[in-house]
Amino acid sequence: MNAVHDLGGMQGFGEVVREAGEPAFHADWEGRVLALQRAVLYTRAANLDGFRHAQESLSARTYLSISYYHRWLLALTKLTLDLGLVQGEELQTGHALAPAKPLGRRLTRAEVAAAYLRSPFGRNPQGSPRFKPGDAVRTKNLHPEGHTRLPRYARDKVGRIEALCGCHVFADSSAAGMGDDPQWVYTVVFDGRTLWGEPADASLTVSIEAFEPYLEAC
């Protein structure tokens, strides 16, 4: 979706502000939100792509005005409400009122290490890759209402395949609850001037990781 999370190339946000001696978490609740996210996704009731889409679905005003973990909390709350894992009244009272739904699995102490590392996203390919390193490609001019990982600044642009990165869960499908629909992923490199015009740094290249359905031959 064309929302404000898709920040690449936007102007007017000012300087990058750094914090000296930044702690891992700025408040205890931030760590709880991170841990809750890991534990909820582990149940397989929801997935990471759906979690990202829930953040993107926040209003632009909300997305830009709250902190990172606050955004995570709102996304996690929306996901658990939408999935019927919790109800609004329960969150109001702070206690369970309705019976639990059966879920696939629950994160236990014995399996907690699984929540520390990234999950594998590689899947068995359905066919051969359509492109190879060196091929010129044009990204499609896509504007889906759902989740996508093709940033606006890199749509309808000519680039070059640099590498094939494997066959992965297709985020656009996964976020919509439509399954893994595995797709080839490529590193696609663009000249800075292709993206930003003549004033751009002639020595700049920018790459994205593009799922095959985002690309066409050119």
Partner 1 sequence: MSDHEDGSHLTEMELRVRALETVLAEKGYIDPAVLDLIVEHFETKVGPHIGARVVAQAWVDTAFRQALLADATAAIAASGNFPPVGDHLIAVENTPDQHNMVVCTLCSCYPWDVLGLPPVWYKSAPYRSRVVMDPRGVLREFGVALPEGARLRVWDSTAETRYLVLPRRPAGTEGWTVDQLAALVTRDSMIGTGLALTPEGDPQ
Touching partner 1, residues 177-216 (CB under 8 A): 185, 187, 189, 192, 195-196, 200-201, 203-211
Q: Report if residue 218 touches partner 1, rule: CB under 8 A.
A: no
The dihedral region occupied by 48, where left means phi > 0, alpha psi between -120 and 50, and beta the remainder, is alpha
Cβ at position 27, least distance to partner 1 in Å: 7
CA-closest candidate to residue 37, choices 68, 66, 6, 7: 68
User: Which residue, among 133, 143, 139, 152, has the nearest Cα to 190 in the 3D structure?
Assistant: 139
- Between 5 and 135, CB nearer to partner 1: 5
Q: Closer to partner 1 at the Cβ: 19 or 198?
A: 19
Site for partner 1 in 129-148 (CB under 8 A): none
Q: Is 164 a residue that touches partner 1 (CB under 8 A)?
A: no
- Judged by CB under 8 A, the residue of 62, 77, 130, 138 near partner 1 is 77
Cβ(1)–Cβ(142) under 8 Å?
A: no
Q: Which of 76, 161, 175, 215 binds partner 1 (CB under 8 A)?
A: 76
Shortest CB 217 distance to partner 1, Å: 20
Query: By CB under 8 A, is residue 15 in contact with partner 1?
Result: yes
Site for partner 1 in 46-65 (CB under 8 A): 52, 55, 64
At residue 80's C-alpha, the angle toward residues 79 and 85, to 5°, is: 150
Which tokens go with 132? 């190879």
Paired residues of 164 in beta bridges: 186
